[in-house]
Chain A
Amino acid sequence: MSVEMAVRRFERGDATATEIGDVAREVLLELREPDSEASAAARAAGLDPAGLVDARAEVTDGEHGAEPILTTILVGIAVSAGSKAAESLWKDVLWPRIRRRLGARALGTEKPAERKG
């Protein structure tokens, strides 16, 4: 069974898709450690870290552009626990850590979300 990927689209901020993806994957790895800060944040948000072991994050450029500042960044989160869990994983666990590491303007304003199977 394929896991639905919830995709969010953002205006480009100060960080590249690669930088954001790297931090997101580091945080997902942290979730495998029950005593990690990321696991504690997940539990505080009502998520079971054990249910997030299969979570994936894909961060890509929305399009190519001669003016990178005008392009978008796509953040895809896939988790078998469902779309609500994916949303909370992003909002409560991944984004606060990405923001802390890469800055408050790592991503720009969010645009209307898209989904793909």
Chain B
Amino acid sequence: MQAVSPYPGLEAWMWRSLLARAAVFYATRTRLSQFCDHVGNGGAVEFVLRDLELRAREWATQDVDDETAVIRVVEAWDVRLNETLGLEHLDATARKLLEELRVLVRCAHGHDPFHRIFAGITTLASALYGDAWRTATLGVAHIRRHPRGDSARTDPYVVTAMTPWPPSVAEAVVELHIHHDDFGPAAFAALPILLTHECVCHVPARQDRASNESTFAEGLLDWVAYVFHEQWVGKLDDELAPAARRHAEALRSVLGRRTDSAEGRARQVGHIAAEVLRGWFETHCGHGPDESKLAVSQLGVQLNTVDRPLADKDHFVSLIGQPLPPELEVVLHAWEAGRAPASAILDAIDPDRRVRAPSGRTA
């Protein structure tokens, strides 16, 4: 049976090659963090990862179905693992890891792990957004270079995601863009946060346009996405959760260093605003740290579904500082007490609508 890609953005051989590696990373997900650490250190484990890439390519064009291809890749890789374990001078922790990988990888199968993760996240995001949720479908495409132009050695997250704008009224497409050649365990472990970002920030968004420089959509809401990722990933897959959490934070750190671009600055501004707002809920509403984190997240989610120009939402973020403007504090108190909808916050800071704000202040 010729390989058939379920994703129009991937050639059949490329799909098969990605699937085989992702299937191995999924099967070994309880050791994914250690796998990544050893790969980063070079040596025998990096060598067996490169061998996995070669085996995956070798079987990508063979005339078998996906399930058989994955099994054949695993069989071939197992031979290499066994040979490597036979090396006399092998670090004890690397040896232990390789022995564990050998056992775990026997469970690998051809079921699409990208879709499995995506389906779990969309179920949780759909419950969060309720009626505002748009049905989301997953696309996977390849890119020929690292998404940030970096080396995979310094930034192993060779995958990114996007939601083309505008979506249809009821449906959105989330696309993973993967740099095929360097797709490794760290990139796999980062998939949940990337897909959570798309599902929390963009799939249900009601606004006039998309902007990667939006302090709301790519900044404050990205912070919110991390909050939900933290909550969801254990429900999604408790065996993948430790690696997913760790690599979500590592990716956050990588992206957080990129303040030399408008996108990076928007992210930074939005994250800082979210923390300031969190502090405001603690100080002014008597919430604990976790409760105020959830309050910011709920507010972000509600604002995301208010059908207003993105500029209005960015304006809201721009006003979050210490101290908050008095008219914003009044309406935030009203929102927190359940006396005002999230849209009232945008009204209150819009000079043309301020008169309609629940506070009745016209400032």
Least CB distance from B349 to A in Å reads 31
Least CB distance from B362 to A in Å reads 42
Q: A14-B143, A15-B144 known; A100 and B8 CB under 8 Å? A: yes
Contact present for A104 and B145 (CB under 8 Å): no
Q: Which of B1-60 contact A (CB under 8 A)?
A: 8-11
| Pick from A14, A15, A99: contact of B9, CB under 8 Å | A99
| Pick from A14, A99, A100: contact of B145, CB under 8 Å | A14
Contact present for B8 and A104 (CB under 8 Å): no
Tell yes or no: A84 within 8 A of B by CB: no
**Chain A hits for B177, CB < 8 A:** 104-105
Tell yes or no: A102 within 8 A of B by CB: yes
Query: Number of A-B pairs whose CB atoms are under 8 Å?
Result: 29
Tell yes or no: A101 within 8 A of B by CB: yes
In the bound assembly, the distance between CA atoms of A15 and B142 in angstroms comes to: 13
In the bound assembly, the distance between CA atoms of A69 and B235 in angstroms comes to: 43
**Chain B hits for A14, CB < 8 A:** 143-145
Least CB distance from A113 to B in Å reads 19
Contact-size category for B: 10 to 19
Chain B's closest residue to A96 (CB) is: B8
| Pick from A96, A100, A105: contact of B144, CB under 8 Å | A105
Contact-size category for A: 10 to 19
- Contact code string A79-117 (vs B, CB < 8 Å = 1, else 0): 000000000000000001001111111100000000000
**Chain A hits for B8, CB < 8 A:** 96, 100
Least CB distance from A110 to B in Å reads 13
Contact present for A104 and B175 (CB under 8 Å): yes
Contact present for B141 and A99 (CB under 8 Å): yes
Contact present for A101 and B11 (CB under 8 Å): yes
Tell which of A96, A102, A103 has the most Cβ of chain B within 10 Å. Answer: A103
**Chain A hits for B11, CB < 8 A:** 100-101
Tell which of B9, B11, B144, B145 has the most Cβ of chain A within 10 Å. Answer: B144
**Chain B hits for A100, CB < 8 A:** 8-11, 141
- Contact code string A56-95 (vs B, CB < 8 Å = 1, else 0): 0000000000000000000000000000000000000000
**Chain A hits for B143, CB < 8 A:** 14, 103-105
In the bound assembly, the distance between CA atoms of A104 and B142 in angstroms comes to: 6
In the bound assembly, the distance between CA atoms of A56 and B75 in angstroms comes to: 47
Q: Which of B108-158 contact A (CB under 8 A)?
A: 141-145
**Chain A hits for B145, CB < 8 A:** 14, 105
**Chain B hits for A105, CB < 8 A:** 143-145, 177
Contact present for A102 and B144 (CB under 8 Å): yes
In the bound assembly, the distance between CA atoms of A14 and B179 in angstroms comes to: 12
Least CB distance from B231 to A in Å reads 30
**Chain B hits for A106, CB < 8 A:** 144
In the bound assembly, the distance between CA atoms of A14 and B175 in angstroms comes to: 18
**Chain B hits for A101, CB < 8 A:** 11
Pairs A–B under 8 Å by Cβ, sample size 6:
A14-B143, A101-B11, A104-B141, A104-B143, A104-B177, A105-B177
Interface of A toward B, CB cutoff 8 Å: 14-15, 96, 99-106
Q: A14-B145, A100-B9, A103-B144 are in contact. List 6 more A-B contacts (CB 8 A).
A: A14-B144, A96-B8, A100-B10, A105-B143, A105-B145, A106-B144
Of all A-B residue pairs in the complex, the 6 with the closest CB atoms, nearest first, are: A104-B141, A103-B144, A14-B144, A103-B143, A105-B143, A104-B177
